[in-house]
Structure formats: structure tokens, C-alpha cells
Amino acid sequence: MADCLFCKIIAGEIPSTKVYENDAVYAFRDINPMAPTHVLIVPKTHVASVDEINADNSASVACIFEVIPKIAAAEGLANGYRVITNCGADGCQSVKHLHFHLLGGKKLSEKLD
């Protein structure tokens, strides 16, 4: 999608620190890390948010969840981690390309809101 920040990152038009990549998924370090490990995992095909997941694109979401444990292991998150996705205005989603935050490397807050 022409005007999407994460599509530009996936295409290499905007630099990022790549953590993992396969045919369907790209993962890179968040520019504003909230934990020692803060990786964003995104589908390479543009999906705006969780609200747009459907039968045509859910395979890429399944692939993301297959990749997450591999990244967590590579990052040394043996003691656990958190996966978050924000959706829409009330969910405080700032980038309108589906992404999952992988957070770990410290004891995370119990507060989710």
C-alpha cells in the first residue's frame, strides 16, 4: 500500500533493524522500545488491523504466530514474554498496518490498560 509506513519498511524504502523475515512475515525492532526486547512482527501483505483479518489473509497471521516463538527463543526470552496488538482508535493503534508487539527481557507490568 503506497502510503503505509510499514509497507515502506518491508520494501526497504525506510530503514529498519530486521530480526526475522520469511515469505509472509517481516519482523524488526521497534523504534521506541518499551522493554529490552521490543520487536514488531507484521504480515508482508497489507492488512490494516485485526479488524480486517479474514479467511483470505488469516494464513499470514497464523504464520506470524508460528514465527513468534522462534524470535522469542532467538532473543533469549525463556522466562516469558508478551504479545500485544492494538486495534483502532480506542486501542491506540498508531500505524495502520497489522502488527504484533513482542515484548520481553524484563518483568512486565501486570496492567494491560
Tell me if 94 contacts ligand DGP by CB under 6 A.
Answer: yes
Contact residue for ligand DGP among 4, 86, 105, 108 (CB under 6 A) = 86
Q: Number of helices (H) and strands (E), helices first, in the chain?
A: 2, 5
Contact residue for ligand DGP among 30, 44, 63, 82 (CB under 6 A) = 30
Check if 99 is active-site.
yes
Contact residue for ligand DGP among 93, 98, 103, 104 (CB under 6 A) = 93
CA atoms within 13 A on the CB side of 106: 9
Residue closer to ligand DGP, measured from CB, 46 or 55? 46
Tell me if 16 contacts ligand DGP by CB under 6 A.
Answer: yes
- DSSP string of 67-97, one letter each residue: HHHHHHHHTT-TT-EEEE---TTTTT--SSS
Q: CB-based contacts of 100: which residues, under 8 Å, 6+ apart?
A: 40, 41, 42, 64, 68, 83, 84, 85
Contact residue for ligand DGP among 2, 55, 78, 92 (CB under 6 A) = 92
Any idea which residues carry the catalytic annotation?
A: 99
Binding interface with ligand DGP (CB under 6 A): 5, 14, 16, 28-32, 40, 86, 92-95
